[in-house]
Structure 1
């Protein structure tokens, strides 16, 4: 049994909905326990206990939203000191493009190092059923890879 940690930051509620959809998808995979935490409640001990990390972040004015940036800044050096290396996946809610927020996350996470197991998923615009489906598919695929040991 492996643990998938889903960490999210939300202001409008969209990222919370995406995180729940990803968790629901991941929950369809046997052999994986799913934990969902807000970025402000998660820390390096949670990373150390996880077998994989899915970050659900928002783009804010073309950049990574502050709550998620604060989380990755807070765990950066402690994760390096502990030698934490995890597969990760990125899910970004974007009002515009989302690529800059993804690039910021990738740059920070590569320093820990966390290794991207999947292509980042960017959901642009307002919440809709399609965004929920994409989040669920990402959660399920990432959990399946963790369960099979391919990440």
Structure 2
């Protein structure tokens, strides 16, 4: 059994809905145990449990959310020497274009190191059926890749 950790931060509920859609997609893969955890509750234990990660964040002032940044701040030094090199994917709920948040998340992930294995899903504006569908597809895709041993 492989473990997929979905870490999210949401204040309005939009990013949580996108993260829940990732979970719905991931549970379609029988060899994967997905876990959805708020960023403020996730820590080193969850990170070490995971075989792959999905980060879901709103874009705040062109950056990732403070909650997700807090997760990175609390876990980086605890796992830095382990070179965890996990595959990850990104969901961004953006009011602007999401590129600033994506760029910052990629820079942080490089330091762990983590490796991005899918194109990001960036939802600009209000929650939509298209955004939910894209998030669910991302969850199914990363779970299938993990289940097949691609990453």
Same fold (TM over 0.5): yes
Q: Secondary structure at the match of 1:41?
A: coil
Cα deviation for residue 83 of structure 1 reads 3.0
| 1:99-136 CA distance string (max 9 Å, x none) | 00000000001000011111111111110111110100
How many residue pairs get matched?
151
Q: Give distance in 2, aligned partners of 1:111 and 1:63.
A: 17
Contact in 2 for aligned 1:22/1:138 (Cα 8 Å): yes
Output aligned runs, 1:81-100, within 5 Å: 81-100=81-100
Cα deviation for residue 89 of structure 1 reads 0.6
What residue ranges of structure 2 are gaps of 5+ in the alignment? none
Q: Secondary structure at the match of 2:85?
A: coil
Q: Give distance in 2, aligned partners of 1:76 and 1:109.
A: 10
Q: Secondary structure at the match of 1:64?
A: coil
Deviates more, 1:68-77 or 1:107-116: 68-77
Q: Which runs of at least 4 in structure 1 moved beyond 3 Å after TM superposition?
A: none
Cα deviation for residue 82 of structure 1 reads 3.1
1:124 aligns to 2:127 (yes or no): no
Deviates more, 1:44-53 or 1:72-81: 72-81
The equivalent of 2:67 in structure 1 is: 67
Output aligned runs, 1:2-151, within 5 Å: 2-151=2-151
- Let me know the Cα RMSD of the aligned residues: 0.9
Cα deviation for residue 72 of structure 1 reads 1.2
Cα deviation for residue 29 of structure 1 reads 1.0
What residue ranges of structure 1 are gaps of 5+ in the alignment? none
